[in-house]
Structure 1
Amino acid sequence: MYGGIVMRDIIYIENKHFVGITKDSFKLKNVVDESERYFPFDEVDYLIFDSRSSFISERVITTCVENNIGLIFCDKTHTPQLLMTSIYGQNERFKRQSKQLAMSKKTKGRIWQKIIKTKINNQADCLKYVVKNDKVSDIVRSIGKTVTEGDKNNHEAYAARVYFSNLFSKSFKRGRYDDIINSSLNYGYAILRSAIRKELVIYGLEPSWGIHHVSTENPFNLSDDIIEVYRPFLDALVVELLNNNESEELDIELKKEIIKVLFEKCIIDNKVYNLLDAIKITIKSFVSCVDKNSATGLKLPTFIEEGR
């Protein structure tokens, strides 16, 4: 396949390629067979570089900045390590960040409540549609109904224990482990997190200032808040991929399939969108919440009835 994967909005670059600019398009040239392909700027949201043997021109970087196109670079294990996106061009950046930092504790608590309730409901739907376990799905859904402002009783963690032990196995432990399940989840979450970070920056928000995550060592606390409601969609995809995959490690072919999580379908704002577009809708609605200092109007994704 030329240049790796070419999906709508995303160009995934592997093997030996030179990426340059010609007129209003990216030019991808295979340095081995010298074949070429062109992709208009307005059809691309991301360039993902997963090859240490590819080359990129300075004009590609400036063009991506000018057109709000994300540049993602992967390390030798093919894991996203760097996201480049423009921090310039937002005329109201200072004003918006001032409002973001001035958000009341009550507003942040209510936003977090909405995020966690929706996340837990999505986990319940994942169990219902993917694992076909209505009984446990109902248990998880009931946990979501009791989430309070700010989730002070940490129902998120309780739901997660029930959810993951039934989604995978009783012995499964979620975390930064190197088994194929955790490796697949962590890789997919990194892809989702990168997409969220890009939109936060485009709207002039301060990514380090979260509404719930407040680690002084995390420059992207806010993206870690927003991603919570999107995780179950990746979980569902990973379950399906691993059920049809005999490999015991996260290889390059499996990673290519996981990247497609951005094109999974969901319901948001009463319409069907892929996750890449849904993230844009969520962030835009969050900006409105920031401007109004209110949780009203926050738009979050849910599963399509009957699953993926």
Structure 2
Amino acid sequence: MQRDAVEAAMVGRVVEIATDGRHIALDRGFLTIAERGAEIGRVPIDDITAVVMNAHGLTHTNNVLVALARRGTPVVLCGPHHRPEAIVWPVDGHHEQAGRIMDQAAASLPLKKRLWQQIVQAKILAQGAALAATGAEAGGFRLLARKVSAGDPDNVEAEAARRYWPLLLGSGFRRDTDGGGVNGLLNYGYAVLRAGVARSVMGAGLHPSLGLKHANRGNPMVLVDDLMEPFRPVVDREVHRLVGQGVGEVTGEAKAALARIMIVDLPTAERLSPVATCAERLAGSLARAFAGSGERLALPEPGLPLGF
């Protein structure tokens, strides 16, 4: 297994398979990686948060996918430029899953708009915190967050993005999900984040295809994409740090750093908590909101992330 994949598993419990032609299997509680019939690495399957398959010609056994699904561990299948193309999703993720999905499907549009308002506000405040951490001008982002109303009909989220990217990564940067270079770094970090948030959605018994705002009929993970929005600036800040060190492509060093995203500590109303825990609390609070037990989402505070 490549050094970056081993480090990811040890530090962030995210295992990436990044070399073409490798074979993934299950052996007595371990995920094993083999090349040309010879085992080159193994990781305890209970320690894994997500598996990112990011190479051509990979093969795997059905047993390993079933074992990962039973543990609620998503498997992310990546395409060009490190973009996630699919996530292998467990059928049963929570003991109240059927009831929670029914609540989710029955949620009123006004409720979903109010919940989306909170998510956009949290994202914009997190963008401001990321800018402040890099020494960029961030004062206007609190004002932008206050402008967000239910459902964000004025698309303040897009207005914030137009200001955010040039301040964070330079006036010449353009966000392009099909691009390489710095965009590839962002894609890779978001793939790790998406896998972690997918696990939280599944663990809360929610259905990933019933979103709050995202509504692409070809995207089966719209709720995951909704809930990962407030955490994207954690990835952005790490990419900014990597670029500042001269890393402009998805290298082994960059992968190892971005694999740690889910263990970065964020300030919350209770205490510092890793992104993975914050995502679990957010998904749980959303399930309770759908069930009528309050509308306040458990979102991280707009402070500086710690742990890089």
Tell me, yes or no, whether TM beats 0.5: yes
Q: Which SS does the other structure have where 1:211 is aligned? A: coil
Partner AA of 1:192 in structure 2: L
Matched position secondary structure for 2:276: helix
Structure 1 pair 286/306, CA: closer, same or farther in 2 (3 Å)? Answer: closer
Partner of 1:300: 299
The equivalences for 1:1-308 within 5 A come to 4-6=4-6, 7=9, 8-15=12-19, 17-29=22-34, 31=36, 34=38, 37-52=41-56, 54-75=58-79, 77-88=81-92, 90-130=94-134, 132-133=135-136, 136-247=137-248, 249-251=249-251, 253-292=253-292, 294-296=294-296, 298-302=297-301, 304-305=303-304
Cα pair 1:188 1:259 within 8 Å, conserved = yes
Cα distance between partner residues in 1 of 2:220 and 2:284: 20
Residue segments in structure 2 that go unaligned for 5+ positions in a row: none
Q: CA RMSD in A?
A: 2.7
Instruction: Tell me: CA distance 1:214–1:294, structure 2 relative to 1, closer, same or farther (3 Å).
Output: farther
- Counterparts of 1:218 and 1:274, CA distance in 2: 27
Q: Is the 8 A contact 1:164 1:174 kept in 2?
A: yes
1:271 counterpart SS class: coil
Confirm or deny: 8 A CA contact 2:83 2:177 kept in the other structure.
Answer: no
CA contact (8 A) 1:27 1:38 kept: yes
Judged with a 3 Å threshold, the aligned counterparts in structure 2 of structure 1 residues 147 and 51 are, in CA distance, closer, same or farther, namely: closer
| Contact map agreement 1:108 1:150 (CA 8 A) in 2 | yes
Residues 87 and 204 in structure 1, CA contact (< 8 A), matched pair in contact too: no
Q: 1:198 to 1:88 in 2, by over 3 A?
A: same
| Shift of residue 113, structure 1, vs aligned partner | 1.3
CA distance in 2, matches of 1:241, 1:51: 22
Determine helix, strand or coil for the equivalent of 1:213. Answer: coil
Superposed displacement of residue 155, structure 1: 1.7
**Secondary structure at 1:289 match in 2:** helix
Q: CA deviation at 1:45?
A: 1.8
Q: Distance in 1 between matches of 2:32 and 2:267?
A: 35
User: What amino acid is aligned across from residue 209 of structure 2 in structure 1?
Assistant: S
Q: Letter of the aligned partner of 1:101 in structure 2?
A: A
For 1:145 and 1:294, how far apart are their aligned partners in 2? 21
Pick 1 or 2: higher relative contact order, CA cutoff 8 A, min separation 6: 2
User: How far off is 1:18 after superposition?
Assistant: 4.0
Deviation at 1:127, TM superposition (A): 0.9
- Tell me if the contact between 1:112 and 1:211 (Cα under 8 Å) persists in the aligned partners: yes
Q: CA deviation at 1:79?
A: 4.0
Structure 1 residue 183: deviation in Å? 2.5
Aligned AA for 1:100? Answer: Q
Larger radius of gyration: 1
Distance in 2, Cα, partners of 1:250 & 1:30: 22
Shift of 1:54: 4.7
Decide whether the 8 Å contact of 1:25 with 1:40 is kept in 2: yes
**How many residue pairs get matched?**
302
Cα distance, 1:77 vs structure 2: 5.0
C-alpha distance in structure 1 between counterparts of 2:263 and 2:305, whole Å: 17
Contact map agreement 1:17 1:29 (CA 8 A) in 2: yes
For residue 230 of structure 1, give the secondary structure of its aligned residue in structure 2: helix
SS across alignment from 2:242: helix
Closer, same or farther in 2 for the Cα pair 1:87/1:29, shift >3 Å? Answer: same
TM-score for both structures, normalised by structure 2: 0.85
TM-score, normalised to structure 1, is 0.85
Task: Give SS of 1:301's match.
Answer: coil
Distance (whole Å) between structure 2 residues aligned to residue 206 and residue 254 of structure 1: 32
CA distance in 2: counterparts of 1:169 and 1:280, whole angstroms = 33
Rounded to whole Å, the distance in 2 between the matches of 1:263 and 1:66 is: 22
Identity percentage of aligned residues:
24
Question: Equivalents in 2 of 1:137, 1:74: separation in Å?
Answer: 33
In 1, the alpha carbon distance for the partners of 2:100 and 2:305 equals 39
Gaps of 5+ in 1: none
